[in-house]
Amino acid sequence: MLDACVCVCVCGLFVFKAPPTPMFDKPWREIDWGNNEALLQELMDYEPQNDEVHHLRVLVYGPVGAGKSSLINSMTSALLGRMAIPAAVNNTQSDEGSFTVQYKTHRIRKGRGKSRGYFPFVFNDIMGLESDKNVGVRAEDLKLAMMGHVKEGYKFNPICSLSPSDHYYNPHPKPDDKVHVLVLLLSANCPETNTSVIQKMKEVRQTARDLGIPQIAIGTHIDDVCDQIEKDIKNVYKSKSLKTKMEMFSNEVGIPLNCIMALKNYSQGEMKNNPDMDTLILTALKHIMDFGDDFIEEMSETANGV
């Protein structure tokens, strides 16, 4: 069709050229599709090699609307092989602000009945970052959470940070209370991130860097960025527009491109798991586990004077 082409004048002649394709010929990042059973088994078998750490703690943060609670639900669904909603999600589009207001730890059960146990990692869901300094979670509270000073059930106050005199302040955090991996969640369909929110992200990242906590970023809503991804999730790392978006994320927040993952969260419309969506989710979990395990091992070596 002529309207799908680009007309170029060459030496007085009009030549019709096909428009640039939105896809790379080959994926710029390889994903082991169809290997979910092996990924799942590795995640199930993991045990922190530190007697003081019973589970790997993952702190998920990011702007309001990025899908932090949905990510936790999606990871739980991928691990269990069925739909699960351990984290409450706001489905009312007209509501403003963060739906999550309390510091809560989400543990993922495995097995049923008397054989029921838990996966060896937990997720902390927090209030979202907002541009207004008097709205959303404060960067100072995120820093305290990373160091293990925030107790379960603390209700975030956008006006002031958690005080050492507060009942929810943990004065003597154990290695198990501290965050072992920091995950920044960003929405790929967001045109741009507010400058003040980016500044808050940088403050949090600098604290994590100083504490030695590994960091990764995850881009969600990837099907809204590229029609080809919406048609087939396996096109995720062939999409030129998504790669451009992830490079923009990298430049904005300072996280290397190889530490930025992409996935699609499950929504309330799905009734059963999609194996390819699970592959992206489990792959991200595998990276989280590897990075966190390295940090836990470093904590153990430091404690033992190695």
C-beta of residue 289 within 8 angstroms of C-beta of residue 56: yes
- On whether residue 22 sits in a domain, the answer given is no
- On whether residue 207 sits in a domain, the answer given is yes
The model's pLDDT over 224-244, given as tens digits with 9 standing for 90+, comes to: 999 999 999 999 999 999 999
- On whether residue 84 sits in a domain, the answer given is yes
pLDDT given at position 86: 67
- On whether residue 136 sits in a domain, the answer given is yes
pLDDT given at position 95: 40
Name the least confident of 123-127, 150-154, 211-215, 232-236. 123-127
Which tops the pLDDT comparison, 192 or 11? 192
Cα–Cα dist 175/120, whole Å: 14
pLDDT given at position 195: 85
Check pLDDT > 50 for residue 2.
Answer: no
pTM: 0.87
Domain total of the chain: 1
Could you tell me the CATH number of the domain that includes residue 219? 3.40.50.300
Which tops the pLDDT comparison, 94 or 61? 61
pLDDT given at position 10: 55
How far are the Cα atoms of 78, 82, 96, 160, 269 from residue 272, in angstroms, in the given order?
10, 6, 29, 42, 9
The model's pLDDT over 185-222, given as tens digits with 9 standing for 90+, comes to: 999 887 677 888 888 888 889 999 999 999 999 999 99
- On whether residue 16 sits in a domain, the answer given is no
Check pLDDT > 80 for residue 184.
Answer: yes
Residues of the chain with pLDDT > 90, as a percent, come to: 56
Contacts of 272 (CB under 8 A, 6+ apart): 82, 83
pLDDT given at position 3: 45
- On whether residue 127 sits in a domain, the answer given is yes
Cα–Cα dist 306/302, whole Å: 6
How far are the Cα atoms of 54, 65, 80, 113 from residue 110, in angstroms, in the given order?
15, 29, 7, 10
DSSP bridge partners of 148: none
Q: What is the mean pLDDT of residues 122-128?
A: 86
pLDDT given at position 84: 83
Q: Which of 57, 81, 87, 74 is nearest to 221 (CA)?
A: 74
Check pLDDT > 70 for residue 100.
Answer: no
pLDDT given at position 133: 65
Mean pLDDT in the chain? Answer: 86
Which tops the pLDDT comparison, 6 or 43? 43
DSSP bridge partners of 150: 169
- On whether residue 19 sits in a domain, the answer given is no
Domain span holding position 34: 29-303
Q: Say how far residue 23 (Cα) sits from the centre of its chain.
A: 25
- On whether residue 91 sits in a domain, the answer given is yes
Q: What is the mean pLDDT of residues 80-100?
A: 61
Confidence band of 99 (pLDDT split at 50, 70, 90):
low
